Structure 1
């Protein structure tokens, strides 16, 4: 009886893993419309697709390049202080990003080396974003954890 129970449990664990997909988005775009389309809308569509097929999608995003600006709390204290379109959309973007974390469990990582170069303080990024030493290290680590690589450029 114990052997059958063990076989059943192992079988369930293997089936659960088969239903789990992982993706890491390498986010470098700085265009607001593309960001909304590819990240905010695209992630939700991807998550919904897998959920409707009885599977789970874990999403991680590694931020660098021109994408820093979408994750800054106070734009007036950043290299993006003159981007009027971004300033007008900042509050809405923050809510939508926060919603993706709370409702879809998206994990955001940001390149610390790039932040240092651009003089963006850790205190000036959203609390739901985790700094990583470099974007390359973040991408390597996540891919070695089984995340499929998808560039957003």
Structure 2
């Protein structure tokens, strides 16, 4: 009779101790919130796409991502580099009836109003596309070369997110 009860007792004992043992192990891995260091999230979004619908969707996603960081008190630095087929979005000179470009302009402005955001256009591309510097939005800064800028940011630990569709 004891032989039949003993395996059952072992199973019940192990079942009862498993949650306690598991929690003890997990508690050693979890750092209390007060002691956690929140790492700054550094990201460079690199827009070279000429697909305006895609660009608009990515600008919306950048805004959403920044809002998530703000909501969760996560420090961040965001750089948006603009060059190649994406370059024309930096100019204020657009047709009133161009709904997509007007949408992009609004989204760019929304993104620019967040803290710790830099929107940078490649001077090589701006000049190549014949965009006058006085036609640039005031929140856009020119960098000599987007390629060397992205390389520098990546070497500084920025995550690279391309918009190259």
TM-score range, shorter chain: 0.7 to 0.9
Structure 1 residue aligned with 2:66: 47
Indicate whether 1:23 and 2:34 are aligned.
no
1:95 to 89, 94, 106: 106
Q: Matched residues in 2 for 1:113 and 1:25: separation?
A: 18
SS at match of 1:75: coil
Structure 1 segments unaligned to the other structure (5+ residues): 1-11, 77-83
RMSD over equivalenced CA pairs, Å: 2.5
Task: State the TM-score, normalized to the length of structure 1.
Answer: 0.72
- How many residue pairs get aligned? The number is 130
SS at match of 1:74: coil
CA distances 1:104-141 after superposition (whole Å, capped 9, x unpaired):
54211111111122221211111111111111121122
Indicate whether 1:133 and 2:144 are aligned.
yes
Structure 2 segments unaligned to the other structure (5+ residues): 1-33
Deviation at 1:42, TM superposition (A): 0.7
Bigger Cα Rg:
2
Deviation at 1:92, TM superposition (A): 4.1
Aligned 8 A contact 1:47 1:56 in 2: no
